[in-house]
Amino acid sequence: MTDRSFRLLSRQQRLDEQLQRERARAAPDRIRLFRLQRLKLIIKDQLNRLIPQALTPMAAR
């Protein structure tokens, strides 16, 4: 695992925790939820780009 992928995974975990806390509030801030979810998707896309194509199974190509 590269340093960059480790940092992205750590950031994604922190975003998950923030999302859970926000959802648990009596009146969750919908704009904050949207922003956190969007950031999480951006990180997911970045992580997917880091995975080399050589590691994907031939059937998935």
Does the reported pTM lie above 0.85? no
**Which tens digit of pLDDT belongs to each residue from 9-41?**
999 999 999 999 999 999 999 999 999 999 999
**Which tens digit of pLDDT belongs to each residue from 34-58?**
999 999 999 999 998 887 654 666 5
> How big, in percent rounded to 5, are the helix, strand and coil portions of the chain?
80, 0, 20
Distant-in-sequence, close-in-space partners of 30: CB < 8 Å, separation ≥ 6? none
